[in-house]
Structures are given as C-alpha cells and as structure tokens.
Structure 1
Amino acid sequence: MPNSAARAKSARRARRGPREDPARNELVSRSLQSAQQCLLHRDYGTAYVHYLLVLHLAPLLKHVAADSFRFTLFKWASELDSLGRIQDLFNCYEQALELFPDDEVIVNSMGEHLFRMGFRDEAAAQFHRALKLRPDFPEARENFYRVSNWLVERWHFLMLNDRGRNRKYQLAIQRAVREGCSTVLDIGTGTGILGMCAQKTGASEVFACELSKTMYELAREVVSANGMADSIKILHKKSLDMEVPKDIPTRVSLVVTETVDAGLLGESIVESLIHAWRHLLLPPPVRTSTCSTGRVIPASATVFTMAVECQDIRRHHRLCVSAVGGLDLTAAGEIRSPVNSSAAVGEVSEPYTTERLSRARGGFTALTPPCRLLDLNFNNLQELEGLCSRETSQLRVQVLEEGVLDALAVWFQLHLDQDNSISTGPHEDTCWEQAIYPVQSPHFRVQRNDEILVDVSCQDAYLRLCCVAVVRDGQTFRLDRVERSVSVACAQSAEVELCSALASLHTSPDTPLRPFTLESSEIALLNNVSYHSNFRLALDSLLTSLRSARGSQGSEVASGRSPEPFYVLDVSEGFSVLSLMAAQAGSDSTSSCSVRAYSSVEKEQHQVLLRLLARANGVDESVLEFWLTHVEDDSAVFQRPTSEKLWSAIVLDCIEPCGLTRQGMMEKATLARCLLEDGGRIFPERIAVHGLLVESDMLLQESAVQGVEPTLGFNIAPFINQFTVPVHVFLDLSTLECRHLSEPVQLFVLDLMNNSANYTSTNVRVQVSASGRVTAVPFWYQIYLDTDVSVSTFCEDSHWKQAAVVLQHPLSVRAGDWVRLSVRLHKSSMSISALKETGGSPADTTVTEGPVISTA
C-alpha cells in the first residue's frame, strides 16, 4: 500500500529537527556582519536592507536584533524624510511592522513622521495604537495629547459645556422644525449635537457634514450611541463639495451651522452659505409663493467693535522698550507682529488674533463705547454675495476715555431666530474669545472727544479693520502714514503731546524703510526687560570668572599672540538677541579677551536685524556668526566652532511661551555639558518648578465635557473626552478664575549643569489652606541663570504663560488636610499625580492621575 508507506515516511521526518541550510546560515551571518559594517560607516539604507534580509531568513533572531533594527530604521527614515522620499519612508515602516507588528516604539515613531507631515488623523491612530500596546508608554501618551490638541480643539469642550448656547440653539431648531422645516442639513457638525437636536424635535430627514476625519468618526460614534445612526446621515465632506442628488436626495428646508470664529467670518461661513443657497437649500421665502422655502440658523449677526488700551496686547504686537540688557534697540525702527489688517493681502499671516479680554494680564480699558460695525443677514443670498465686493467704508468712533490706543476688539451677536441670540462680548459669560486687531503704529495716546477713523472691509471673506487716523479739534493725524507737515500744524501747546507721539513715526536715514516682522511671542520676549537684564548680569559674572581663571593671558599678549576668545552659542528658538548681548559684553570689556558669539537664528530677516543692531551698538559684525548656516544636520547644532575648541557658554531655550518645558531639554543639556570648557556654563543652570492647589470650575469646563446636562441630555462626553488633554496651557494665573487652596510650593528641580543632582521622581506634601475641591495644579518656573541670578515665568513682564495639571477627579479637601503630589520625570517630560492623605491608611486615600506636562 504505497499511501501507507508515504505517510509513515512523512511521520519519521516530522520527528527530526529542521534541516540545517548551510548556505542560508552563511548568508544570514554575512548579512549581519555587513549590516554592522554599514552602521559604522553611517550607511543606514544598506544596513536596513541587510537587516530585512536577516530577519526574513532567520525570524528567531528578532529578539536579538530588535534594538539594532529599530536604530537602523529610525536613522534611515530620518534620511528619507530629509530627502523628501516620503513613499519610501512609509514603505520602510510597513516592512518593519510586518516583522514587528506589536512593537509600540516603531508604531509611535511612524506616528511622529505622520504628524510632522501634516497627516494628523493618521498620526493619532498610530499613537492610540502604541498606547494600546503599552498603556504606560510616556512618549506615545505625550504625542497623543499633542495631536489631540490639533484634532479636537479645546473650544469643543467649552461649547459643549455652555448650557446657554446649546439650549438657545435647541429652541431655535425646535421652532424651525415645528414651522415646517422638516429636512435639515448640519454644516460642520462637530460632535453632531445640532443634528441630533433636529432629529429629536421631529425632522423627517437629517443630514450632516464634517471635514475633519477625526470629528466625522467621533460624530458617527456619538450619533450611534444616542440611537440615531439610522436617522442621521453623516458625510465626511466639505459642504462646498456636496451636490444634489449625489450626497443628499433633495434640497433641504433648513441649514444649521456654527461655522463662525471669534471674528465671525473666519471659518468661511459666507462662502458655505452662498453655496448652500445656490445648491443645497430650498429658495428663501417669497410673499407671492406658496412653495416650500428654506432658512438658515443662525438667521443673522451683528458685529460690534471698540478701541481698547491693553498692555498685554501691546507687548505682544509692537516693541515697547528702547533698550534691553545694555542693547540699544532704536536702530531697529519699527518692529511689529504679522497680525496686521492694513498690509497687502498675502503679506500677513492673519488680519486678527484672538484674546479673552476678561483674562488679559493687567486687564483692559475701553477707550470708546461699543459701536455697531456690521449687520449681516444669512437668509439673504444677495447680501451674502455682495459682502466681499463692498467698498471699504470708514467708521468714526468717539473716544470717551484717555489712554494708549492698543487695539480694536471685535465681537458679535448671533441671532439664531427672532427670540434667541448669543453674544460673544468681553463682558459676557461666554465660551467665546474676542477678535483683536492690534494697532501697529508706535505708542499713541488718545484724549477724550478725539475721534478714531477706522477703515472697514471684507476682503477675501475676512472682516478687516484698520485704525487709520485720529481727529482732534478738527485736525486729522494719520496713523497709517506720517505727513511731515503735521509738526507745523501742531505748534499750539495743547498739541505738544500729540506731536511728540507723531515725531517718533518719522524715519531717519539710518532707519529701515520697512518694519521688521517678528512673531508675537518673539516681540513679547524682546519686551521682557528683566529677563535680558538678568541674563546680562549672569553672563558678565561668567566672563569675569573665566578671565580670572585664564592666568596666562598676560604672557600670551606679551609674546605677541592674540588671546583666545570666549565662544558663546545661543540655540534659542526663534528670534533672540542674547548672542548679540554676549558679543557686546566682549567688546565692552577692557580685557583683551573678546567674545565670539554664535546665533542659531535662521530667518534671513532676523539675521539682518541682528546685524543692524550690532552696527548700532558698536559691535564688530565679525564676532557675530549665524551658526545654522554652517550646520547641515540639526543634531550637530552643538558642535564646536572648531574641532579643538570648547564653548564658554551655551544658551538653551528651555521653556515654551505656553508654559511647558521644551521637549528634549535635558538631553540637550547633557550634550551641551560635554562641550563646555572648564568653568563654562549652560544658561540657565537649573530650573525649579513651582505650583499650588486651586479650585477652578473654568479649567474643568475647558478640559472635558462635564456629563450630559450641558449637552441637552445627549451622550457625548465619553466620546469626546477620549481626546481630553489633562494639561492646560497659555494660562495667566493672575487672571484665572480660581480659588487658591494652598500656598505655592517647589515641586521639582531640573539641574542642567549637574546631572547627578537630578532625580526621576519626588513626593511633595502640600498643606491645604482653604476648604474646597482641588481641581488643578497650576505651575510655573524659577529659572536660575546662575546661583545668584534668577527670573520667574510668573511675573508681571514675563513673556511666558503658565500651565496647569487638570485633575480628572477633583479632590474634596478641608483646611489643614495634606495632599501628596507625586512628580515623576521621564526625559524632559514630567507627570504629576495627586493623593489626599486622610487617616494615613491606604484605604483612606484618593489618587488622581495627572498628565505629561512637556510639549513638542
């Protein structure tokens, strides 16, 4: 029986071990050796190919070669990224994940590449996958928080927690549906709450569209969880791309939307409603017609403006000081932020910014009464179509309070229907911020009974405002340009102050013809006088110490040799004058030891500005170099000026303007320490983190949806709260609505000069000083430039904001209780957890996890 014999022979073979394949083993061994040789020569692409071959031929080697393979993959991916070979990059990651499908490090790294390239939805999926593979993976958690801020912006939580806003929309939708608007389209549905309102009221058909993939998927989950998946059709599409009958069977009778920003028109509501009226909505009501008609909620809007004085806005949008740290800044002429409505379209990044005026540091003063700026009827197609073609109009606003003209604040009243409206004004209890149009002209004081002339236009569907002139006693003084004849007309003593202000607008032959543009955070840094003054003190102290230590300088001069200069490297983010201050410190010294300063400033305009300031301050341009022009690889930014020289000082930019530590700060400090000469220093040398316990309902409202009550009973919170980021940034603790429940305490110390002094975790016991609920732990930094000189990020002229850990579950405490804060450090990221001590027993404690408080 041949078949029986065949089975027996096969069985005997199965009992043997796998046959060795000498040729395959030899190939694996040679490929491993080749991969290692390629790594030594930094040929990462070839090394990667060798590792792929090895791991496919010998899968048992995966656990041995995993670390080397990851290292090779990441290096080769970085090269492909720099070369723009995007498809090859992701092919490599797909190949790697076929070999290591459960490797959270590879998954997270792929997400980081996706995020940098703008694929935020896809990046979020990878970070979420990495966290599922390893829930305690700090890098993936931090990356997920970071991408969540992009995908689900924080105003979603505020709006969903705004009971008044949600209820008014509900009432307007109920009235429209009961009056016959039975088919509804929700444009920009977000979580789907407005569409669900329409369906619950009795609409026969409800459609919704959402452009964001993340929000589209979130809306589908929410609608399904609320039992409406079969009655609401959600499209992942921009409304401008929708067609009848392709996307919706017939024209609808009601469009509901809230695609408005703080400036009303910035989210293209006009464009989307023009398209809706032309293609998706039934015609508007006509008296002689009995046919079905369409309507829009909101029905209309009224826009208001007023002029304000606000020091916080001023110091972010124009240079307010003439000197910092011994540097004369007047030669720079005018420095302004890119937020500017008066510039040509395309030359500015945006016509306005946004602020919550009620939280502005130092407050604000209304210089004029609120003035009606614009009325817009969303149910009138002709009015919408004519908006952008309107001629520029001029508004005259009377000044009621004397003060510095810093900005125009804009807000609006959204009329949902004849009975329900929402105001976004600065004095309203609202989830909205106000649109801010900074006045970019130099410091100018207005007086009572002056009139401010404001040009108003709707260019490119943005509302644009520009203060162009002030009228005083019948005379017009231009703010957008200066007429030299003004000074002649101002001989009267009553006009002296005005003339003095206008005189600063005149340009000298040495002043740049065009203003320099810096980001608002860079201008705020330049206006931070105390920071620069303290840096100069610490730098002078270091240079004095180094000169004293160089006892052989005299003999070098006597022998005719030039003394070795001090090398200072500034790797601050964005524009910084610290390198120029270092160069000036060397040129001011009576010692023959000069300073060669290296700046990491990359933008050509920034380099031009530094050179201009160098000439104006008597600094030889040859001692100021722009370091990144010599560096091809970002990882080599700390390399020595020449191979045998070391740095005397390295300036690190450790704190983000938003109030968080910069990613990789401690790693950079470790590298920088190795490149310092004896006695050299990193600035800052250490950073102390301070915080306190507070009760703040506002922080809770801005961080997560609080149950179903504010969302009209709909089950939305569990879904959107997946994107909760438990750290709140860009806070101003001086104006935050909160109750302090403890005194400030030191939470952690980061020593950049002495790594052995650092620790990875600590516990801080904080005694409660007032009864309440601990909802958050705001924190800030004391930055020690040296042992004796420090600056705080929580002070009046700080360009830094503060941040706060928001506790997921507030702690109820009484005065005298103790709360233990556990602070842990991972790389440059910290996490905080809070534990209430009651009775000293583990069963009597409550633990609340905190967030990663570092950002990229």
Structure 2
Amino acid sequence: MPNASTRPKRVRRHRRAPREDPARNELVSRSLESAQQCLFNQDYGTAFVHYLLALNLAPVLKDFARDSFRFTLFKWAEELDSLGRVQDLFDCYEQALELFPVDEVIVNSMGEHLFRMGFRDEAAGHFHKALKLKPDFPEAKENFYRVANWLVERWHFLMLNDHQRNRKYQQAIQKAVQSGCSTVLDIGTGTGILSMCAKQAGASEVYACELSKTMYELACEVISANGMKDDITVVHMKSVEMEVPRDLPHRVSLVVTETVDAGLFGEGIIESLIHAWHNLLLPPQSTQDAARSPAETGRVIPAGATVFGMAVECQEIRRHHRLCVTEVGGLSMSAAGGLHSPVSCSPDADDSSEPYTTERLSRLPGGYSALTAPFQALDINFNNVQELEGLCTREVTRFSLPVTQAGVLDALAVWFQLHLDEENSLSTGPQEDTCWEQAVYPVQTHSNCMMRPGDELMVEVSCEDAYLRVRSVAVVRDGHEFSLEDSDLSVEPVGGPGAVVEAELCSALSCLQTDSLREQSCVLECSEIALLNNTHYHQSFSLALEKLLSTLRPGPDTRDPNTEGPACDPLYVLDVSEGFSVLSLMAARCGRVRAYSSVEKDQHQTVLQLLAQGNGVQGEALEFWLNHVEDDSAVLQRPDAEKLWSAIILDCVETCGLIRQKLLEKATLARCLLEDGGRIFPQRIVVYGLLVESDTLLSESAVQGREPTLGFNIAPFINQFTVPVHVFLDLSTLQCKHLSQPAELLTLDLMNSNENSIHQQVEVKVNSSGRLTAIPFWYQVHLDEAISVSTFTQDSHWKQAAVVLQHPLEVTAGETVQLGVHLHKSSISITACTKREEPGMMDGTSSTQSLA
C-alpha cells in the first residue's frame, strides 16, 4: 500500500484563466440592454427581471450596475405597493438582498416598506442593520429614531427614572414574597425590572410575559446581564393567551403588573386579571378559608385603585377639541356643521372615537382652573375577581358636583391612586411629581358652557367595554336641569320664572338647530381642530395669497375687446397640505381662480363643499386634486398638459415640531410646475434654536445616573433606544433654564435651492452659566418677504422639538457654544461643542439630531 506518510510534492501551477462563455456573455449583454430600454419606457417590472438575470449570470458587474439596479427596484416597489401586491414587493426585496446582502440603501428601503405596513419590529431590525453597515447613513439613522419611538415608548424612561415608583413597587413585592408568595408571574414585564425584584426578594420561581417583540428581547438581555437568565422564564406572548401547563408549569401565588395607563384600564388590565384569576393564579384567600397559607393563595400587586376627577377650564384643551372661532381666514364656518375631535365618551360615539386623551396638566400652556373640588369616581379591588367581572355591567353612576369657581367647562380631568398593598400607594394626580399623565375627557359642545358658583354639574361614570368613561351630562341651575348636549349655557337665564321659561324655549329651538348640525358633524384630528383655531395662521395666508394672485391677475386694460371675459385663463392654485385644510377654499374666494385641494377623506370633502356653498364660492372654483390623480405619490404635477400652477401650498412642518420628510425634494419639483411669477408657499423657513438646561428632557430621553436602577443594570440596554430629539414639546411650559438668547440656525429657501447651505457653523453666546442639556428649536415660516408665522406662539397648532445631548456640556456665561448644523436632503442634524474645544475632538460631548 502507498506510504501514508509520504507528502505530495508541491508543484507550482499556473491559475487557468476562466473560460469565456460567448453564449453567456451575449445573454448578459442583451439583458442589460433590455433593462436599459425598459427603464426608458418606464417598464420597471420587466427591467427588474432583466437586471436579476444579468447580475446573477455576471456578478462581476454588480458594482457597475448597482445604482441603476437600485433605481429600478425602488420604482418597481412603488408600483407594487400602489397595486397592493405586498407579497410580490417583499419577494423582489428578498431577491435584491440575495444579490446585494450588505447594501445599506436596499436594507433601509425594505425597512421603510415594512414600517409603512405596520411591521415595526421587523422594520427596526432592517434600520439597525443598515446603520451597522454604514453608521453615518442619515436616512437609516433617522428611520431608526422614528421607529424607536414606537418600539420603546418614551414613558419607559420616565418610569425607570421615577425613583419613588420603583422603590414602592420593590417594597410591595418584597413584602409579598417574604410573606409566602414564592411563585410569581410578571404581566407586561417591559424591561424585566419587577421580575428581577421578585427574584431578588427570594421568590423560588419567576415567570414573565411580554407581547412586544422588541421589549421581550430587551427583557431577555437585561435579565441575562443581571445574572438571572436561569432564574426567570420570559415568554413572548399576551398573558390572556397563556395556559397551564403549556406556558406555566402550575398556577402562581403572585401576579405583579403595571399595565395601567392614564385612564387606568386602557392597557387591558381588567381583561388580563380576570383571565389570570381563572387560569394562572391560585384562588384568593376567602374568609371561610382563612387557615390557608399565603403560598396556597393568590394575590395581585397592585391590589386596587381609586379613581378621582374634577371639572376644569383650560383654553389649551378647548382649542384642540372644538371649534372656537366663527370664521377662518375670512370664511364663515357656520355651514360646516359640528366639527369635533375624535375624543368622545358619548354613548353614541363610533368605534373610531377614543373615550379620553392624556395630558400633563401641570405643563399645559396657559394652565388650567379647577371648577369643582376633586370627587371619588370609582374604587376597584384587583384581588376580587367577582368585582372585576362585574365592572363592565355596573350601572352608570351619576354624581352631582358643586361648582366652586366660575369658568368655561372644557373637560373632566381624571387621575387615580394605585394601591400596591396596604402600606404602599402611588398617585398620578396633577400636583404629583410622577411619570404618569392625567386622563382628559373633553366636553364636546358647539358653544362654551359657562359655569358659575352655585351650579351643580351632573357627571356620569361607567366602565363600558372595560374602558373608564366619565362625561358631563347636565347642569342644575336655579332648580332647573340643562342638558349639555341640547342647551346653550353661554347665556344664563336671568330674571323671574318667566325668564326661565323663555330660556327653556330658546333651549328647545337651539336643540333643533343642533340636531340639524349634527347630521353634518365631522370628526377632525385634534391638531386639525387647533389649526382651524389658529387665527393668525389663516389671516397671514389670506393676505399672502391675495397679494400674489392680485399681481398675477391682469388689469382692466389688458382685456381682449372681442371677448366679454378677461384675456387670460383662470389662475391655478394647488394645496397639498396634509390632513384637513381650508387654504384652497380661501384661494377660491379670490376670484377667477381654480383651486385644488388634496383633502382625501369623503367626509372632509363634504365639509369643504358645504363651506364653499355657505361662502358663495362657485362649484367649479374648488376641486379635489386627488380625484384627478391616479397615483397619490405623484401629487405634484401640472394641472393639465397646457397649464402651470400660480401657487403651490406645501405643508412643511409636522405638528410634532419636525420638518416634513422630503420637503426640499418636493419644493424642487414644485418649482418646475410654476408659471412665471408663481410661488411656493411658504417661500422660506428659518430655523431658530436656544440653549437650555433641562433635567426634565434628560429624564424623558434616557435612563439617567450612573447608579443601577434598584441595583439592576438596565440603563445600557434600554438606552440603546434613546433618540436625540424630543418631539411634541411645549417650550413655553418646559421646566428649563435658558442659557442663551434665541439664535438663527439655518434657512431653507424653497424658491431657490442654491441659497441653502449644506453645512453651517453657528456661534451662540452663553448668557447664563449651567449645563447645556438640550437645544429646543422652532421655525419662522415666511409666506413672502413681509408675511410670516411662527411655530412658537401661544395659539400655534404646532409643537416644538429639542435636540437632547446624551452628555451635557458645562458652559459659562460669556463663552461661545459652536453648533454644527448640517443639511442632508430634508434632514437636519445638529452638533454642539464649546468653542474652546476642537469639534473633532469632542469624545462624546456632541449630539446629532435628525429633523426629517
């Protein structure tokens, strides 16, 4: 046999060049030519197939064809999306990623499609992968910031920074475990902190469930990092789907949960606890069986809650939930019928309505006034399953609240006291320093309800569908009961009994009118209601539109003598504002104008038509642009083949305080569609900023401090989801210290893109020493050279936003902070450093923020 130890001789061989395959090369060449021809013909689907064939046969050409392939993929994906061919769309992306597995642009684009279709967890994974492939990729960075707000809501940071809340939960859990509750289930575990408290207290078995995939994975990481991986079992499912012994080996003796929102029941705690008592918990200890040990009985933390409420006057709530003006930009609003927000606890409210919204009352601009003393609306025992099951069938409870202060009834504010056990409780009241907001039940009436001392406000409390519903129904005045739904309490009945009778007759007539308007009632978003109430905004637009159209309208000496009408065609105005807008109708009133609105909902179009009729606007003067456009994504196009626009109104700023996505790209396209002398509204946007010190913004943006939370290492894991921008900010009520005067940061010229600086350094002088923790920003929106509106005013429907520095900078009065402002497409980023330091040597002291 051959000698196995003999080594083969090393012979140098020349690597043979790959054999040319003329047929393959010809096929590749023809496929690329066909792809180019299909692109020219806008046949993107066929072009995509040709590119797939060519690049699979000749991978060496991938770098050469990358840009064209991307363009083809994105165009074809847009078509598939518009046709609703979702599976085909994702199949194309899978094929593309097989060819280009580390292409950050394709990975990010697939994440965008996933996010738009509601697959947030999967989208986050793609954005995160794109950032790993290219850490400075601005689109992926901004997308990840946006999806992070969905996946890990900001209240997680507030809760973990709420030391009192953490300590009291820990004490209640420790007491229960040490009294014999050794098996624990944590429902809605979040970061896993309550599960770890139970294990640390000595529980023998700890289980946790979490519905959110992101939070489930985060909890697993946190528990593992704290050395409890083998002691706590975490399952990714909803608690009401859990069964024994499939998901739990046996029933547990303690359930801990914090699945409560501002309205107490909004996160489904009633449903989950009823299911737990029937399926997951040991039976509760009864008076007949007091001899059973705690280990043999079940209990819940929190043990129960008490709900409180009071009537309030608040202009900020009022202007977001009902129309407070009789005209908007010169348009009478009487023909619009009843316009109201989608927040309603009325019995006849549709499924799209929410029974309440949430606000932090202590931070509302303009504040609030209590019209009644607080009253106890409800008391619930979470350790009594019969009480939980009977909650939804409880009879409506009516309360009579004495009015203690005169004012307009705008809402009922509700909060609760959470009883963790006999000794520990937490309050979410408006005067408490707590991580919770308060629930707000706005009053939906067509006019102001004036309250005066001596009145009694009738309030009904119910728990239909396991939601807490609190609503004002009537006012008792001088022995007579007036329904808020049917009566106008803005005019008080005065005089003798005859005056009261007369007032009741007027009330009946008002009722008839109200019923007529209700038939035309329309639901608008809270921000859309606030927009209609923004008088200065609409007055400014009305003036600017009139000025522009008057300059484009021919004078009397330019008429054609052979015709009766003017020599020129009508002027064309397009309003592409997001949501409900009356700007197109304001333009249509200017005469000889064809105005087009991008309002999409049928109900909103009906309201605009009613307003047009009520304000004498001819039917042909107002049209709905999306009815003329086949593809919603191609809104910006000529009015017809022969015409151009005189004015295009762009919606530039989101309500939350950010520049709208792809604004500059839209402006570039809009400029190409304007006639000579035509204009984009707004003409330019100036960004302003301010240096502030705010511990509040820090606590709402990340887990603070170097000390572990209750001794557990949580911050490094959840802070991965920290975003450097805080949105929906009310700067006028933000708890902060101003360190500088407002400074102009950047100008975006929508009429002349050549004027936009891509990189800009701004020096801001510090006028007060402190820690620079954030840079709030807002906009001055210039409609023309003389007319502008600010997003930072008392009646603004916009909120502000702020860059939050992860590492605050110590600054001294008199020194200068250098801000680096960078523009990429419609995305703005801001970095900060003191001028005495080199910007490139900051070592983590700067923070980048993406606006759009």
TM-score category, normalised to shorter length:
over 0.9
Shift of 1:506: 5.0
Shift of 1:848: 3.2
Out of 643, 658, 667, the position equivalent to 2:665 is 667
Shift of 1:443: 1.1
8 Å contact kept, 1:444–1:501: no
8 Å contact kept, 1:654–1:665: yes
CA shift in 2, pair 1:12/1:706, >3 Å: closer
Q: Secondary structure at the match of 1:507?
A: helix
Aligned-partner Cα distance in 1 for 2:545–2:36? 45
Task: Report 1:388-537 matches (<5 A).
Answer: 388-441=392-445, 442-482=447-487, 506-507=512-513, 511=517, 513-537=519-543
Q: Secondary structure at the match of 2:831?
A: strand
Shift of 1:707: 3.2
Matching residue's letter, 1:111: G
Aligned-partner Cα distance in 2 for 1:127–1:202? 40
Matching residue's letter, 2:401: V
Aligned to 2:320: 316
8 Å contact kept, 1:835–1:846: no
Task: Report 1:28-427 matches (<5 A).
Answer: 28-289=28-289, 290-291=291-292, 292-344=296-348, 346-427=350-431
Shift of 1:560: 6.0
Deviations 1:403-454 (A, max 9, x none): 0000000100000011110000111101110001000012111111211111
8 Å contact kept, 2:255–2:300: yes
CA shift in 2, pair 1:559/1:369, >3 Å: closer
8 Å contact kept, 2:537–2:789: yes
8 Å contact kept, 1:482–1:506: no
Matching residue's letter, 1:849: S
8 Å contact kept, 2:486–2:508: no
Matching residue's letter, 1:544: S
Matching residue's letter, 1:45: G
Aligned to 1:821: 819
Out of 681, 684, 701, the position equivalent to 1:683 is 681
CA shift in 2, pair 1:843/1:514, >3 Å: closer
Q: Secondary structure at the match of 2:747?
A: strand
8 Å contact kept, 2:82–2:631: no
| RMSD over aligned Cα atoms | 2.3
Deviations 1:524-583 (A, max 9, x none): 0000000000111111111122125x7973236757665311100000000000000000
8 Å contact kept, 1:835–1:847: no
8 Å contact kept, 1:570–1:652: yes
Aligned to 2:766: 768
Matching residue's letter, 2:263: G
Q: Secondary structure at the match of 1:777?
A: strand
Matching residue's letter, 2:266: G
Q: Secondary structure at the match of 1:849?
A: coil
Shift of 1:505: 5.7
CA shift in 2, pair 1:116/1:524, >3 Å: same
Q: Secondary structure at the match of 1:321?
A: coil
Q: Secondary structure at the match of 2:320?
A: helix
Out of 577, 580, 587, the position equivalent to 1:575 is 580
Deviations 1:38-72 (A, max 9, x none): 11222111111111110011111101111111111
Aligned-partner Cα distance in 2 for 1:493–1:795? 46
Matching residue's letter, 1:836: T
Out of 798, 802, 805, the position equivalent to 2:803 is 805
8 Å contact kept, 2:191–2:714: yes
Shift of 1:852: 3.3
CA shift in 2, pair 1:552/1:302, >3 Å: same
Aligned-partner Cα distance in 2 for 1:190–1:639? 47
Give the total of aligned pairs: 837
Give the TM-score, by structure 1 length: 0.94
8 Å contact kept, 1:708–1:715: no
CA shift in 2, pair 1:557/1:715, >3 Å: farther
> Which blocks of at least 5 consecutive residues in structure 1 are unaligned?
1-7, 587-593
Aligned-partner Cα distance in 1 for 2:496–2:56? 88
8 Å contact kept, 2:270–2:388: yes
8 Å contact kept, 2:766–2:811: yes
> Which blocks of at least 5 consecutive residues in structure 2 are unaligned?
1-7
Aligned-partner Cα distance in 1 for 2:495–2:78? 63
8 Å contact kept, 2:154–2:700: yes
Aligned-partner Cα distance in 2 for 1:569–1:370? 50
Aligned-partner Cα distance in 1 for 2:807–2:13? 63
Shift of 1:761: 1.3
CA shift in 2, pair 1:492/1:816, >3 Å: farther
Aligned to 1:3: none
Give the TM-score, by structure 2 length: 0.95
Q: Which moved more, 1:288-297 or 1:208-217?
A: 288-297
Out of 789, 792, 814, the position equivalent to 1:791 is 789
Q: Which moved more, 1:708-717 or 1:720-729?
A: 708-717
Aligned-partner Cα distance in 2 for 1:257–1:560? 74
Shift of 1:656: 0.5
Q: Secondary structure at the match of 1:598?
A: strand
CA shift in 2, pair 1:433/1:774, >3 Å: same
Aligned-partner Cα distance in 2 for 1:191–1:844? 35
Shift of 1:466: 1.6
Deviations 1:117-143 (A, max 9, x none): 111111100000000000000000000
8 Å contact kept, 1:396–1:454: yes
Q: Secondary structure at the match of 2:655?
A: coil
Out of 630, 649, 653, the position equivalent to 1:655 is 653
Q: Secondary structure at the match of 1:661?
A: coil
Q: Secondary structure at the match of 2:429?
A: coil
8 Å contact kept, 1:169–1:416: yes
Shift of 1:87: 1.9
Aligned-partner Cα distance in 1 for 2:347–2:755? 52
CA shift in 2, pair 1:656/1:711, >3 Å: same
Aligned-partner Cα distance in 1 for 2:129–2:595? 45
Task: Report 1:676-715 matches (<5 A).
Answer: 676-707=674-705, 709=707, 711-715=709-713
Q: Which moved more, 1:757-766 or 1:11-20?
A: 11-20
Out of 548, 552, 574, the position equivalent to 1:546 is 552
Aligned to 1:718: 716
Aligned-partner Cα distance in 2 for 1:239–1:846? 45
8 Å contact kept, 1:398–1:452: yes
Aligned-partner Cα distance in 2 for 1:360–1:647? 41
Aligned-partner Cα distance in 2 for 1:793–1:256? 44
Aligned-partner Cα distance in 2 for 1:610–1:512? 16
Deviations 1:798-828 (A, max 9, x none): 0001110001110111111110011101111
Q: Secondary structure at the match of 1:80?
A: helix
Aligned-partner Cα distance in 2 for 1:674–1:556? 33
8 Å contact kept, 1:836–1:845: no
CA shift in 2, pair 1:143/1:185, >3 Å: same
Deviations 1:445-502 (A, max 9, x none): 1111211111211111101112111111110000123599x99998769869999899
Aligned-partner Cα distance in 1 for 2:825–2:194? 43
Aligned-partner Cα distance in 2 for 1:215–1:64? 41
